[in-house]
Amino acid sequence: MKHKSTLFLKELNKNMVTKEYVSWLNDHETMRYTEQRFLKHDMMTVKNYVNNIKRSKTEFLFGIFINHLEKKIHIGNIKLGPINKYHKNAYISFFIGNKRFLNMGYGTNAIKEVLIIAKKKYKLNKIYAGAYSLNKQSIKILKKNKFVLEGNFKKAVKFNEKYINHFIFGKIL
Ligand X SMILES: CC(C)(COP(=O)(O)OP(=O)(O)OC[C@H]1O[C@@H](n2cnc3c(N)ncnc32)[C@H](O)[C@@H]1OP(=O)(O)O)[C@@H](O)C(=O)NCCC(=O)NCCS
The binding site for ligand X (CB under 6 A) comprises 30, 33-34, 93-96, 102-108, 131, 135-138, 140-141
From the list 130, 62, 66, 141, the residue with the least C-alpha distance to 98 is 66
Query: Measured between alpha carbons, how far is 168 from 125 in angstroms, rounded to an integer?
Result: 16
Minimum distance from residue 107 beta carbon to ligand X (Å): 2
From the list 112, 98, 102, 97, the residue with the least C-alpha distance to 144 is 112
Task: Name residues whose C-beta falls within 8 Å of residue 148's C-beta, 6 or more positions apart in sequence.
Answer: 169, 170, 171
Minimum distance from residue 143 beta carbon to ligand X (Å): 9
Q: Which is nearer to ligand X, 72 or 123 (CB)?
A: 72
The sign of the dihedral angle between the CA atoms of 11, 16, 17, 18 is negative
Q: Which is nearer to ligand X, 124 or 132 (CB)?
A: 132
Minimum distance from residue 84 beta carbon to ligand X (Å): 18
In contact, 62 and 109? CB cutoff 8 Å: no
Minimum distance from residue 58 beta carbon to ligand X (Å): 18
Minimum distance from residue 14 beta carbon to ligand X (Å): 22
Residue nearest to ligand X (CB): 107
Q: Which is nearer to ligand X, 6 or 15 (CB)?
A: 6
Q: Which is nearer to ligand X, 93 or 124 (CB)?
A: 93
Q: Which is nearer to ligand X, 123 or 137 (CB)?
A: 137
Query: DSSP letter string over 101-137?
Result: GTTSSHHHHHHHHHHHHHHHTT---EEEEEEETT-HH
